[in-house]
Structure 1
Amino acid sequence: MKKIISTTAAPAAVGPYSQAVRAGNFLFCSGQIPIDPATGNFVEGGVEQQAEQVLKNVRAVLEGAGYTLSDVIKATVFATSMGDFAVVNGVYARHFDKEPPARSFVEVSALPKGALVEIEVVAWKE
């Protein structure tokens, strides 16, 4: 059975999609960009601050469905510059410090609203 997940603790969807969809024990989370849900604006600063907000948003979506970062089994990081790999990786490592999920890091030409980084995850729990 499919269940749509929505939480006000993370930014509202900026298009025709759900923040996350639960299918059985799996949770498929849409990509999060660095919007502060309290203001609706991008966080101040560069890629490090954006990556931090993105992961806060990912955590909020997971928690809205009853999951945690430790339930994440796969993450995909999209960045507009592979030159930001080390900075984003450092932020990511602070959030996934134990038994990190499988991950891809992909450079893209652009992200929604001019974001520098976006992260999507798949989680699973019994």
Structure 2
Amino acid sequence: MIPKKFSIEKIPSYGPYNTCVLVGGFLFISGQIAVDKNTEKLISDNIEMETRKIMENIKIILSENRIGFQNVVKTSIFVTDISFFSKINNVYSEFFHEGSYPARETIQVSALPKNANIEISLIAYKN
């Protein structure tokens, strides 16, 4: 099966990859950092604002593909400081319905693009 690649103008990619790719009903969203789509600057005042911006950007990508957070089956969170874990969870959980959270891992890393503190990627199912 050949993947359908999307050129998303609202949330562009910043390297040699697509923002998202649809394959067999699954939408794979590349890792997102908290870049403001209008200024292309990183939002990094605090981890809550950074997490919220990422989730809002992901919401735009999902919406453009006619998918909602209820269709997300897997997320991966990369964070430069695992002590942010509970603050990330507080914001992240606002975007999902309790009891229907996707599978997830949270991984501490040494660095992220543009000196971001957090990056989130996900897989959603388009039914």
Say yes or no: TM over 0.5.
yes
Q: Which has the higher strand share?
A: 1
Structure 1 range deviating more: 37-46 or 50-59: 37-46
Matches of 1:57 and 1:18, distance apart in 2: 15
Conservation of the 8 A alpha-carbon contact between 1:7 and 1:60: no
Superposition RMSD on alpha carbons, in Å?
1.2
SS in structure 1 opposite 2:97? coil
SS in structure 2 opposite 1:105? strand
Query: Counterpart of 1:15?
Result: 15
Matches of 2:4 and 2:63, distance apart in 1: 15
Q: Tell me how far 1:8 sits from its aligned partner.
A: 2.5
Matches of 2:74 and 2:44, distance apart in 1: 28
Conservation of the 8 A alpha-carbon contact between 2:32 and 2:119: yes
Amino acid at match of 2:64: G
The unaligned stretches of length 5 or more in structure 1 are none
Q: Tell me how far 1:5 sits from its aligned partner.
A: 1.9
Q: Tell me how far 1:71 sits from its aligned partner.
A: 0.8
Query: Counterpart of 1:73?
Result: 73
> Normalized against structure 2, the TM-score is what?
0.93
SS in structure 1 opposite 2:16? coil
SS in structure 2 opposite 1:22? strand
Query: Counterpart of 1:4?
Result: 5
Conservation of the 8 A alpha-carbon contact between 2:29 and 2:123: yes
SS in structure 2 opposite 1:63? helix
Identity across matched positions, percent: 34
SS in structure 1 opposite 2:5? strand
The unaligned stretches of length 5 or more in structure 2 are none
Query: Counterpart of 1:102?
Result: 103
